[in-house]
């Protein structure tokens, strides 16, 4: 029931998000996606206090998550205390799209097949110095899964290329024009099968692809958003909107 409004938004924002100067993946489509966060309420989502990032509160809270200007806005609720907000619904094979406009500083993540403890395959949203976007990390999983093809340097406009199974598709000198800090950018991930094949995109440019070597996590779980524990990020915020999912049967 929300597809028309989402499509309209994409038409209006497409020129800004998906510049033709970059290697946009033309195989991607917005057809058959279901909106699971419409900007009007947090119905269908809940906060978990069970992850290791909620230890500062002795697992009595999982960070602060509010609805603000049509977005899910997250922060630490007390210094050092984070957590996750996750869908009530479980998903198996799926593709998820979110739009993100985070402050530069907090560590976050988009979790795929998450449980209440935050164990999941993670689309990295480590939006800070020495951090990374669209890398793949095994959050609380065995196997030491950690793939990334660039790091931020001392500023959001500067990146350093790293060796990885998929080469970084954006040159360091082009990053500042590709990624629009302070504006909404699109993050997209797909997870299929188990052991899973995971693919990530930023603004429809493919960044990473990984196929696990063994089954180490259940076939289904929630979609989750994270505020990392540690430090003091009570006054810096992560922001996500227009969360859409397409299940693969």
Q: What was the pLDDT predicted at 12?
A: 37
The pLDDT tens digits for 47-63 are 999 999 999 999 999 99
Burial of 92 (0-12, 13-18, 19+ CB in 10 A): middle
Q: What is the mean pLDDT of residues 101-126?
A: 98
Q: What was the pLDDT predicted at 18?
A: 58
Q: What is the mean pLDDT of residues 153-173?
A: 97
The SS3 assignment for 56 reads helix
Q: What was the pLDDT predicted at 248?
A: 84
Q: What was the pLDDT predicted at 109?
A: 98
User: Cβ atoms within 10 A of the Cβ of 215, count?
Assistant: 11
Q: What is the mean pLDDT of residues 11-35?
A: 76
Q: How confident is the model at residue 249 (pLDDT cuts 50, 70, 90)?
A: confident
Structure tokens at 218: 């259940």
The SS3 assignment for 13 reads helix
Query: Within 13 A of 80's CA, how many CA atoms are on the CB side?
Result: 6
Q: Which CATH superfamily is domain 3-247 in?
A: Exo-inulinase; domain 1 (2.60.120.560)
Whether residue 17 has pLDDT greater than 90: no
pTM > 0.95: no
Whether residue 45 has pLDDT greater than 50: yes
Q: How confident is the model at residue 179 (pLDDT cuts 50, 70, 90)?
A: very high
Pair 179, 186: CB distance under 8 Å = no
Q: What was the pLDDT predicted at 20?
A: 60
Angle formed at CA 214 by CA 213 and CA 216, multiple of 5 degrees = 130
CA nearest neighbour of 212 among 97, 122, 118: 122
Q: What b/e sequence results for 127-142 when a residue is b if at least 16 CB atoms lie within 10 Å of its CB, and e otherwise?
A: bbeebbbbbbbbbbee
The pLDDT tens digits for 117-145 are 999 999 999 999 999 999 999 999 999 99
User: Cβ atoms within 10 A of the Cβ of 69, count?
Assistant: 8
**In this prediction, what percent of the chain has a pLDDT beyond 70?**
92
Distance (Å, whole) CA 129 – CA 4: 38
């Amino acid at each position: 029931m929300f597809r028309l409004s989402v499509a309209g938004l994409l038409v209006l924002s497409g020129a800004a998000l998906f510049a033709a100067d970059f290697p946009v993946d033309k195989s991607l489509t917005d057809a058959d996606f279901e909106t699971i966060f419409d900007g009007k309420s947090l119905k269908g989502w809940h906060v978990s206090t069970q992850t290791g990032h909620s230890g500062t509160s002795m697992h009595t809270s999982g960070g602060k998550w509010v609805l603000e200007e049509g977005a899910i806005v997250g922060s630490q609720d007390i210094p050092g205390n984070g957590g996750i907000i996750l869908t009530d619904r479980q998903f198996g094979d799926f593709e998820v799209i979110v739009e993100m406009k985070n402050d530069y500083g907090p560590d976050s993540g988009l979790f795929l097949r998450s449980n209440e403890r935050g164990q999941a395959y993670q689309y990295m949203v480590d939006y800070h110095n020495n951090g990374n976007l669209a890398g793949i990390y095994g959050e609380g999983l065995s196997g030491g899964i950690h793939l990334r093809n660039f790091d931020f340097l001392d500023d959001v406009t500067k990146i350093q290329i790293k060796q990885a199974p998929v080469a970084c598709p954006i040159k360091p000198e082009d990053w500042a024009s590709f990624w629009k800090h302070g504006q909404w950018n699109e993050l997209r991930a797909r997870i299929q099968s188990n052991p899973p094949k995971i693919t990530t995109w930023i603004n429809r440019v493919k960044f990473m692809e990984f196929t696990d070597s063994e089954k180490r996590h259940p076939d289904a779980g929630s979609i989750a958003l994270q505020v990392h524990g540690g430090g003091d990020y009570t006054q810096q915020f992560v922001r996500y909107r227009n969360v859409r999912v397409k299940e693969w049967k």
